[in-house]
Each structure stands twice: as C-alpha cells, then as structure tokens.
C-alpha cells in the first residue's frame, strides 16, 4: 500500500487503461458491425439483421462463436512463435491507443485536473511510429511459424508492403511536424487553433492537403486494407498470413487489424483535422449543447424506429438502446459533465468519419496487382511526399526567416 | 525501492536473458526474436535515463527496420536449424575463465565508480540534464553539421556499393 501511495500516477494510469481497454474492445466489436452494415448498404443488402435489433448483438454472437471454435495448431508449426504472433499483433495495436489524447490537456473531473490520455509523452508521434514499426512482426511471424505455403507467401508480401509504405507514411507526416514544431500530440493540436476568415478552422489539412492524401493512402496500405489487401488476397493466397489460424487466435488478428484502423484514424484526426478542437469558433457558446442535443436527436429517431418498425424481442432491445442514448444525451447536458465531453465528442466524430471513409473505399475500389502496388508506393507516393516535405520546409523558411 | 530502480533491473535482466537466448537458440528466427527483445529492453533503459528521442529511434531503426530485414531474409531463405559442432577446447579452458574475470572486473569497477554509486543509491531516475529533441536536432544541424553530413554521405556510399556489388555481372 505504501508503494501505491508513493506512486499515485500508477493508480490513475491503471484506471485509465482499464477504462480505455473496455471502450476500445467494445469499439472494435462494433466497428466490425459498422463495416458490415455500411458495406451491405453500399451493395444494396441488409447486412447483419437477425441477432438483435438491426443486428446489434451480432458482435457478441461472433465473439462467442470464436471462443467455442476448435483451436487448431498445424503439427509442423513452430508452436511458440505461432502462439506469440497473434498476441504480438493485438498488444501492439492496443498499445498505440495509450498515446492518443481524446480531449484537451487538462480537464476537471470531480474537481481534479486530469488528462484524457493514458500517456502524454513529449515525443508522442515518434513513439507511435516506434510501436507501429514493430507491428510488422505480428504478420511476418504468423506466416513463417505456420510452416505452410500460402501463409509464408502472404506474410512475405505483407512485410514488403508494410516496410515500403511505412517510409511514405512517416515522410508525409513530417510536414505537419514542421508546422507544429513539436512531437507532442497536444501541442500539434493546439498549433491548429484559430480560424481563416474568422470561421473556417485552421486545420493542417488545408496547407498540408498533399501530405494528407499521401498519409491516407499510405495508412490504408499500412493496415492491409482494400485496395491494398494483397497479403490476404483470397483468389491467390487463400487468406494470406492467417490461413492456418482458427478460433480466438484468428479473432486476435481480426481485432488487431481493426485496432490499427482506429489508431491510424485517430492519428489522421490529430495531425490533419485538429484533434479534439471544435470546428466552430469559441465565441459560439451554443456549441456546448451539440453533443447532448445530437444524442437526444438520435434517441428520438431510435424511439420512432422502435415503435414503428420493430416487433417482439427486437423492440425491447432497441428500446434499451434508446434509453441509453437518451440517458447519455441528458448526462451530456448536465453542467458538470458538459465541459468534459466537448473534446472527446468532436474527436470521436472525426475518427468515425475517417473510419467511414475506410469502409467506403472497401466497398468501392478493386484490389491492386502486386507490381502496381510496389511501383505506386516507391515511384509515386514516396517522391510526392518528399516534394511535399521540401515545399513545406521552403515555405516555413520564407515565412519565418 | 523506487519504481525506476525496479524497472531498471527488470529491463536489464530481460536484456541479458535475451542476449543469452540469442546465442543458445538453434532456430535462426528465435535468435532474431531474442535480438529484438534485447533492443527493445535497451530502448526502455534509455527511456529510464530520460533519453526519449534516442529510445524511440532505437526501436524505430534497430527493432523496426534492421531486424525486420533480418527476419525477412531468414524467412525468404527458409534457413533451417543451426548445426552444432562440439565446442572448441579453447572456449572451455581459456574463454570461460576470461569471461568470468571480465565480469568480475566490470563489477568491481562499477561498484567503485560514480555510476555504481548512483545505481546503488536507488537511482536510475530520469536524468535532469537530459537533452530535449529540439536541442538535440539544433546541435546536430548547427554545431555538428559536418560530421553529421559526412556520416550520411558514408551511408550513401555504402548503399551505392551494395548496389554495384549486387549488379555486377558474373
């Protein structure tokens, strides 16, 4: 106990980690639901519909299914590395989220100054890149340890792809670093405060539009998503590096992929879209009510949907969701809670929009060929992000000599 | 015992264990993995010293880039299990005593040096004089510009040399 009393940081951090993990795990599960629903509607289908109202309990059913499937290990596999690989992938994907600030540097919870981030590191961005740079091992080791043709080919492709696009990913971000003059996420966000013409937010996406496009492309490739999902191209490689994985180990790769998507979207929000900054000027005080009112509107719509379209047990389930939304909306309007939720609300809204973009590309674009992928990465993306970097540096030198 | 002190010994032990595993393991991939473990725990030790930038760069460059290439090549060549010969007699009769002597000498020297004293007093706490990233970069690009650029040209020459060697006709 004395040890704990001497290190209050430990207790606070552990509480934050527990809360963050709970939220992130739920978000991962519902991201799969979100993706399936959006893809389905793009393709004129309904998507998950039967487990719970609007298929809302589908992630739970999937989780239970993953837990009870037989866990097969190929006899020729390198057992230790085979088990290590999914843990590696998932834990690294979740670690990066500890660096993401979800709200302003200091927020008062019960009168105590608190930071809405697990670790406010001075060199947050470098640390994030350090963690993602060793993320390759999850994929590479999974393919190697399976001791099977398709996983090995898949993981070789995937490692080559991740190494290639990591260069462009890092270079595309340096422009933002030059503008902000700091590696710290909170300082990068604060540097984007202010407005063009008194109402248009001064986010980095405007001066760094080229950097943003490079970042977005490289990020999609880095997370092995369509149109860069060659590592798991079904028609050529069965399922790529995770062909031999089953049951919960497969689920861990699945969660790692979604976790990486969330991290990359959070990073895009911080670097290019002003993080937790509101898009409206500070003088518009009514914007404080937006989170609560938005949730209440959602609750009203859900109530209408419950009464109008749902029957039987689905009606009860949706009624519960409606009550939760209404309760949260009222909570957000409470004067003690209102200042706390502002930052996270805008941050999460931007992240969800970028995630929607991710899913949208998956529903729209066909897959690259492998040689196209490589030449695109090295011959187009890398030079463009380099030119962007040089141009930004020149601009800063001219503007602030 | 302070937290940095515990962490210092934890990561130190992990680094040493990883280094031993690197030599003992017979599967090349296991050796590579142990080397990654060593590098990451070294990065954690740098972090304990307050050298955040060096720590992140250690992970990005060594664990994230160099070792990825190692693993990549091992996978590509599908290198099998190492063959073992009987240990040489030299190693047993000359090497082992020498290693033990070296360790003892190091321990003795450490115990009587300033570093040893601070470690024994429960330090290993962040160094207040640690340089920030900004200061580090301005030093690199102003005070030590010439050595810095010379090193980068050296690396460029090495890359070109590798290309020339790889492209040489039979």
Q: List A201's β-bridge partners, or say none.
A: A195
Query: What is the average per-residue pLDDT within A1-28?
Result: 80
User: Is pLDDT above 90 for B156?
Assistant: yes
Q: Assign B152 a pLDDT band (cuts: 50, 70, 90).
A: very high
Of A59-68, A126-135, B153-162, which has the strongest mean pLDDT? B153-162
DSSP SS3 for A200: strand
Please give the pLDDT value at position A314: 80
**Looking at CA atoms only, how far is residue B63 from chain A in angstroms?**
6
Of A296, A263, A295, A282, give the one whose Cα is nearest residue A128. A263
What DSSP character marks residue B127?
A: P
* Spatial separation of the C-alpha atoms in residues A192 and A179, rounded to whole Å: 9
Q: List A112's β-bridge partners, or say none.
A: A109
Write down the mean pLDDT value for chain B. 81
Any CB–CB contact under 8 A between A11 and chain B? no
Count of all residues that appear for chain A in the document: 401
Please give the pLDDT value at position A235: 66
Please report residues of B whose CB lies closer than 8 A to that of A127.
56
- The first and second tokens of residue A325, run together, are 């939304």
Of A91, A68, A88, A226, give the one whose Cα is nearest residue A144. A88
DSSP SS3 for B88: coil
Query: What is the average per-residue pLDDT within B62-72?
Result: 85
Please give the pLDDT value at position A313: 81
User: Is pLDDT above 80 for B88?
Assistant: no
Please give the pLDDT value at position B115: 66
Q: What is the pLDDT of residues A34-58, one digit of tens each?
A: 988 898 988 888 888 888 778 888 8
Q: Assign A401 a pLDDT band (cuts: 50, 70, 90).
A: low
CB contact (8 A) between residue B75 and residue A144: yes
> What residues contact residue B109 under an 8 Å CB cut-off, 6+ apart?
B116
Higher pLDDT, A310 or A186: A186
> For the purposes of burial, counting CB atoms within 10 Å of the CB of A352, is it exposed (0-12), middle (13-18) or buried (19 or more)?
middle
Q: Assign B116 a pLDDT band (cuts: 50, 70, 90).
A: low
Bond into A227 cis (ω within 30): yes
* Spatial separation of the C-alpha atoms in residues A20 and A132, rounded to whole Å: 19
Q: What is the pLDDT of residues A320-362, one digit of tens each?
A: 888 888 888 888 888 877 777 888 888 899 999 999 988 888 8
Hey, what domains does chain B have and what are their CATH numbers? Answer: 3-130 (1.20.120.1200)
Q: Assign B87 a pLDDT band (cuts: 50, 70, 90).
A: low
**Looking at CA atoms only, how far is residue B168 from chain A in angstroms?**
24
Please report residues of B whose CB lies closer than 8 A to that of A397.
none
Interface with chain B: mutation pick from A134, A163, A174, highest number of B CBs within 10 Å: A134
Q: What is the pLDDT of residues A233-263, one digit of tens each?
A: 666 677 777 777 878 888 888 888 888 889 9
Query: CB of A216 within 8 A of CB of A173?
Result: no
Q: What is the pLDDT of residues B118-144, one digit of tens each?
A: 655 545 445 544 567 778 888 888 888
Query: What is the average per-residue pLDDT within A283-301?
Result: 83
Query: CB of A315 within 8 A of CB of A54?
Result: no
Bond into A88 cis (ω within 30): no
Any CB–CB contact under 8 A between A155 and chain B? yes
Q: Select the residue of B40, B57, B68 nearest A163 (Cβ to Cβ).
A: B68
Provide the Cα torsion A288, A292, A297, A300; round to 10°. Answer: -160
Q: Assign A290 a pLDDT band (cuts: 50, 70, 90).
A: confident
* Spatial separation of the C-alpha atoms in residues A325 and A303, rounded to whole Å: 10
User: Is pLDDT above 80 for A164?
Assistant: yes
Query: What is the average per-residue pLDDT within A293-305?
Result: 86
Q: Assign B117 a pLDDT band (cuts: 50, 70, 90).
A: low
CB contact (8 A) between residue A122 and residue B63: no
User: Is pLDDT above 90 for A167?
Assistant: no
Query: CB of A228 within 8 A of CB of A373?
Result: yes
Q: Assign B158 a pLDDT band (cuts: 50, 70, 90).
A: very high
Write down the mean pLDDT value for chain A. 84
* Spatial separation of the C-alpha atoms in residues A183 and A162, rounded to whole Å: 23
Q: Concatenate the DSSP letters of all residues of A128-178 into one string.
A: HHHHHHTTHHHHHHHHHHTTSHHHHHHHHHHHHHHHHHHHHHHHHHHHHHH
Q: List A195's β-bridge partners, or say none.
A: A201
Count of all residues that appear for chain B in the document: 170
Three-state secondary structure readout of A166-220: HHHHHHHHHHHHHHHCCCCHHHHHHCCCCEECCCEECCCCCCCHHHHHHHHHHHH
CA B130 → CA A209, B46, B136, B137, distances in Å?
Answer: 36, 11, 10, 13
Q: Check the CA dihedral A364-A368-A373-A376 and report its sign.
A: negative
Query: What is the average per-residue pLDDT within B26-30?
Result: 84
Of A102, A85, A103, give the one whose Cα is nearest residue A93. A85
Query: What is the average per-residue pLDDT within B83-98?
Result: 77
* Spatial separation of the C-alpha atoms in residues A131 and A159, rounded to whole Å: 15
* Spatial separation of the C-alpha atoms in residues B151 and B157, rounded to whole Å: 10
Q: Select the residue of B29, B56, B75 nearest A127 (Cβ to Cβ).
A: B56
Of A71, A67, A93, A69, give the one whose Cα is nearest residue A82. A71
Interface with chain A: mutation pick from B46, B63, B72, B136, highest number of A CBs within 10 Å: B72
Q: List A107's β-bridge partners, or say none.
A: A114
Please give the pLDDT value at position B1: 61
Please give the pLDDT value at position A306: 83
Q: List A108's β-bridge partners, or say none.
A: A113
ipTM entry: 0.78
User: Is pLDDT above 90 for A81?
Assistant: no
- The first and second tokens of residue A71, run together, are 């866990």
What percentage of chain A exceeds 70 in pLDDT? 96
What DSSP character marks residue A111?
A: T
Any CB–CB contact under 8 A between B126 and chain A? no
Higher pLDDT, B80 or A150: A150
Using the structure block, give the residue that is written with the tokens 């970042």.
Answer: A215
Higher pLDDT, A282 or A374: A374
Q: Concatenate the DSSP letters of all residues of A302-330 into one string.
A: HHHHHHHH--THHHHHHHHHHHHHHHHHH
Q: Select the residue of B33, B53, B72 nearest A123 (Cβ to Cβ).
A: B53
Please give the pLDDT value at position B151: 92
Any CB–CB contact under 8 A between A156 and chain B? yes
User: Is pLDDT above 60 for A223?
Assistant: yes
Higher pLDDT, B79 or B164: B164
């Amino acid at each position: 106990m004395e040890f704990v009393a001497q290190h209050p940081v430990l207790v606070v951090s552990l509480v934050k980690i527990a809360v963050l993990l709970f939220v992130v795990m739920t978000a991962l599960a519902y991201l799969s639901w979100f993706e399936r629903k959006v893809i389905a509607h793009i393709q004129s289908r309904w998507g998950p519909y039967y487990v719970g109202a609007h298929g809302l309990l589908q992630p739970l059913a999937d989780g239970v299914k993953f837990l009870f499937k037989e866990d097969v290990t190929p006899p020729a596999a390198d057992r230790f590395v085979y088990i290590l690989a999914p843990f590696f992938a998932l834990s690294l994907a979740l670690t990066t989220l500890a660096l993401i600030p979800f709200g302003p540097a200091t927020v008062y919870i019960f009168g105590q100054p608190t930071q809405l981030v697990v670790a406010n590191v001075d060199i947050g961005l470098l640390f994030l890149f350090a963690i993602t740079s060793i993320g390759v091992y999850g994929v590479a080791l999974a393919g190697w340890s399976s001791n099977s043709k398709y996983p090995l080919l898949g993981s070789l492709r995937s490692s080559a792809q991740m190494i290639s696009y990591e260069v462009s990913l890092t270079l595309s971000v340096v422009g933002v670093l030059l503008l902000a003059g700091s590696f710290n996420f909170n300082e990068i966000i604060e540097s984007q405060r202010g407005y063009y013409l008194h109402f248009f937010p001064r986010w980095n996406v405007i001066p760094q539009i080229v950097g943003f496009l490079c970042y977005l492309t490289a990020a999609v490739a880095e997370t092995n998503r369509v149109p860069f999902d060659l590592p798991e191209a079904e028609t050529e490689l069965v399922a790529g590096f995770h062909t031999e994985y089953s049951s919960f180990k497969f689920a861990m790769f699945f969660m790692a992929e979604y976790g990486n998507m969330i991290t990359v979207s959070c990073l895009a929000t911080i670097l290019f879209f002003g993080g937790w900054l509101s898009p409206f000027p500070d003088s518009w005080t009514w914007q404080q009510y937006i989170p609560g009112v938005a949730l209440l509107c959602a609750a009203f719509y859900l109530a209408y949907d419950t009464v109008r379209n749902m029957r039987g047990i689905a009606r009860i389930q949706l009624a519960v969701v409606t009550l939760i939304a209404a309760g949260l909306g009222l909570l957000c309007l409470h004067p003690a809670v209102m200042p706390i939720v502002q930052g996270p609300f805008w941050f999460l809204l931007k992240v969800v929009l970028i995630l929607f973009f991710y899913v949208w590309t998956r529903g729209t674009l066909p897959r690259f060929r492998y040689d196209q992928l490589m030449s695109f990465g090295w011959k187009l993306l890398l030079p463009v992000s380099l030119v962007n970097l040089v141009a930004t540096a020149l601009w800063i030198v001219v503007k602030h000599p | 015992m302070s937290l940095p002190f515990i962490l210092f010994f934890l990561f130190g032990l992990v680094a040493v264990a990883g280094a031993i595993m690197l030599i003992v393991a017979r599967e090349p991939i296991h050796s590579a993995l142990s080397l990654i473990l060593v590098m990451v725990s070294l990065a954690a030790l740098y972090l304990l010293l307050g050298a955040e930038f060096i720590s992140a760069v250690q992970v990005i460059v060594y664990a994230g880039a160099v070792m990825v290439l190692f693993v990549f090549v091992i996978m590509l060549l599908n290198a099998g299990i190492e063959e073992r010969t009987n240990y040489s007699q030299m190693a047993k009769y000359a090497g082992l005593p020498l290693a033990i002597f070296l360790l003892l000498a190091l321990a003795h020297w450490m115990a009587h040096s300033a570093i040893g004293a601070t470690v024994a007093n429960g330090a290993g706490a962040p160094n207040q004089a640690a340089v920030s990233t900004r200061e580090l970069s301005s030093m690199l690009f102003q005070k030590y510009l010439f050595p810095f650029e010379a090193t980068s040209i050296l690396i460029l020459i090495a890359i070109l040399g590798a290309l020339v060697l790889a492209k040489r006709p039979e």
